[in-house]
Structure 1
Amino acid sequence: METVLLSIHLIVAIAMVVAILLQRSEGGALGIGGSQGGMMTARGAGDLLTKTTKWLAIVFLANSLLLGWFAAQQRGDDSIVQEVIQQEQEDGGSQLPEIPTVPEDG
């Protein structure tokens, strides 16, 4: 399931980058206002790209949340540090040599 979600995530990310780069810069106001045009005008094509970008962003966000939820479910209660400490205790101690100390005078 995660492989499918990761594949979808990659495809959506690439499609979103392409849709954003295809949009024409309007010079401000984020597309507020403007004339009403049909699908055959440049404005209509811009509206289609804007709507496509919006839906791709929604799918991207939902997919990111699902992937995060799956990752949290797999991780479980133990953190990585706790797993290393437990493994070290099972192995009978640290594999690293002791650090030499400076002898005290006296």
Structure 2
Amino acid sequence: MENVVLTIHLILALLLIGVVLLQRSEGGGLGMGSTGGVMSNRGAATALSKLTWIFAIGFIITSILLTAIATRVNTAGSIADQLATPPATGTEAPAPAPAGNLPTGSDLLPPTPGDAPAAPPAAPAAPAAPSN
């Protein structure tokens, strides 16, 4: 069903583009200023404007239908909802162990107002006095 509506939508889009390009603009259009013929210039403009309205209304209806079909098929919610909650896989990779004297995750965070300040490091012991 979606493919049929999408095909009709694309055909209507192309027809709408063609009819709009065929219409006479105030500057003379695409050289369609022919005189005489079966239809007068006023009659041709009226027919083309009616066709434009018909194609535009069909285009809008198929757009609404395609939106309705897409929302009926997609029941998972919006993409933002899917990004906010990570998928539950059950197997997560372990966090890498810190190497050497690198600070761990809690050492990298700034202190919170309730935390007591850390004790300053102990001063190195003074060297012993040399004995004679």
- Given the two structures, how large is their TM-score scaled by the length of structure 2? 0.57
Greater helix fraction, Structure 1 or Structure 2: 1
Runs of at least 5 residues in structure 1 that lack an aligned partner in the other structure: 28-38
Please tell me the root mean square deviation across aligned C-alpha atoms, in Å. Answer: 3.0
Q: What percentage of aligned pairs have identical amino acids?
A: 38
> Which structure ranks higher in relative contact order (CA pairs < 8 Å, sequence separation ≥ 6)?
1
Q: Which residue number corresponds to residue 7 of structure 1?
A: 7
Q: Which residue number corresponds to residue 64 of structure 1?
A: 63
**Higher deviation after alignment, 50-59 or 73-82:** 73-82
For 1:13, the aligned partner's letter is A
* CA distance in 1 between partners of 2:48 and 2:8 (Å): 20
3-state DSSP of counterpart to 1:90 = coil
Runs of at least 5 residues in structure 2 that lack an aligned partner in the other structure: 28-37, 109-120, 122-132
Shift of 1:25: 1.1
Provide Cα deviations, 1:77-97, integer angstroms capped at 9, x if missing partner.
4444169723xx135236xx7
Number of residue pairs matched by the alignment: 90
- Given the two structures, how large is their TM-score scaled by the length of structure 1? 0.69
Which is higher, the Rg of structure 1 or of structure 2? 2
For 1:85, the aligned partner's letter is P
Shift of 1:57: 0.3
| Off by >6 Å, runs of 4+ in structure 1 | none
